[in-house]
Amino acid sequence: MTEILPPVVRPRRLRTTAAMRELVAETTLRPSQLVLPAFVREGATETTPISSMPGVVQHTRDSLRKAAVEAAEAGLRGIMLFGVPTTKDAVGSGATDPDGILNVAIADVAAEVGDALVVMGDLCLDEFTDHGHCGVLDAAGRVDNDATLARYADMAVVQARAGAGMVGPSGMMDGQVAVVRAALDDAGFTDTGILAYSAKYASAFFGPFREAVDSALQGDRRTYQQDGRRSAGEGVREALLDIEEGADIVMVKPALAYLDVLRRVADAAAELGVPTAAYNISGEYAMLEAAAAHGWIEREAAIVETLTSIRRAGADVILTYWATEAAGWLR
């Protein structure tokens, strides 16, 4: 009979009690690290549930103000706003209309919460174009990178005037951060920050978001969003270019399917003292909610584990639709 010697090294000693596990925990998850993405619908008099994202709605201006106050009181320090206009056109005119839904919503929230939240505006044309692309199209129907940059510059200034503390260029146009930074500075908004969607992938997990913003997308966005088959090095390159152009925070989107990219980007950005964000996107939210609704997983534990995994991979900031709810559990 083989004699079994007791192990000398016992890693389980650091797991014996809740106090011990808390004592040695290396990954923190705090409300202040979370940002709430929120949708506001033009002309709405009541909230509209988003069927593919249970618990998430298209807000009215009034309900958005209330949601922003709740987020601040829960300990969040950021809110990212997306507008859902009633009319769209080829160049996304509503994006640069000071009276357009996104810009008035930014003003509403900024007036409501002051400096309690960093009010962020999504800086992209996809919600405002009748073709659903993130930029203007050329005669051949392709997204025109440089013509789109001019629209982004105007959009950034309008959002800053409305009260945005940070703008989020998310269209993956080459040179977008440099153009936005120059436009903001030229208009006197030198303190307005840029959260750059630096490594944004053409993902199947964006599906529910398209419902959330009533997207009119025709075709796909594979000619400008990144290809997930490329190495993480491309994501790092995009992030470093954005930092060079003036980004204050860089971001990886989606989060869960690209945790390897997030780790690489976070390490590279940290060398330069730049924070990294990650966007826990609509499809990631929807699949967990669906599993929880069927009783297949424990909802709260799975949400916290998901967000913790994103933090462990290197995110300093997480955009998530669970932000306010999760903050309540964390507090």
Of the candidates 176, 130, 131, the residue with the CA atom closest to the CA atom of residue 155: 176
Tell me whether strands 317-320 and 34-41 are parallel, antiparallel or unpaired.
parallel
| Type of residue found at 161 | R
Residue among 65, 131, 221, 253 flagged as catalytic: 253
Which pair of tokens denotes residue 130?
């009748």
Active-site residue 66, yes or no?
Answer: no
The CATH class, in words, for 28-330 is alpha beta
Q: What is the pLDDT at residue 222?
A: 81
Integer CA distances (angstroms), 278 to 57, 156, 265, in order: 21, 21, 10
Q: What is the pLDDT at residue 223?
A: 83
H helices then E strands: how many in the chain?
11, 10
Q: What is the pLDDT at residue 154?
A: 98
Give CA angle at 258 (253, 262), nearest 5°.
80
Average pLDDT, the chain: 95
Which pair of tokens denotes residue 281?
């996107």
- Say if residue 44's pLDDT is above 90: yes
* Per-residue confidence band for 2, with pLDDT thresholds at 50, 70 and 90: confident
Give the whole-angstrom CA distance, residue 83 versus residue 20: 46
Spell out a b/e string for 46-57, using b for 16 or more CB atoms within 10 Å of the CB, else e.
ebeebebbeebb
Q: What does the pLDDT look like over 100-130, one tens digit per residue?
A: 999 999 999 999 999 999 999 999 999 999 9
- Say if residue 99's pLDDT is above 90: yes
Active-site residue 253, yes or no?
Answer: yes
Q: How confident is the model over 67-76, as a mean pLDDT?
A: 98
Q: What is the pLDDT at residue 220?
A: 79
| Type of residue found at 254 | P
- Say if residue 56's pLDDT is above 80: yes
Q: What is the pLDDT at residue 115?
A: 95
Q: What is the pLDDT at residue 198?
A: 97
- Say if residue 328's pLDDT is above 90: yes
Residue among 200, 221, 264, 311 flagged as catalytic: 200
Q: How confident is the model over 133-137, as a mean pLDDT?
A: 90
Q: How confident is the model over 69-75, as a mean pLDDT?
A: 98
Q: How confident is the model over 299-312, as a mean pLDDT?
A: 98
Rg (C-alpha) for the chain, rounded Å, is 21
Q: What is the pLDDT at residue 218?
A: 74
Q: How confident is the model over 228-239, as a mean pLDDT?
A: 95
The predicted model scores a pTM of: 0.95
φ and ψ at residue 214, rounded to 5 degrees: 50, 50
Annotated domain spans of the chain: 28-330
Integer CA distances (angstroms), 144 to 21, 135, 254, in order: 53, 7, 24
Do 236 and 268 contact (CB within 8 A), yes or no?
yes
Q: What does the pLDDT look like over 171-221, one tens digit per residue?
A: 999 999 999 999 999 999 999 999 999 999 999 888 787 777 777 777 778
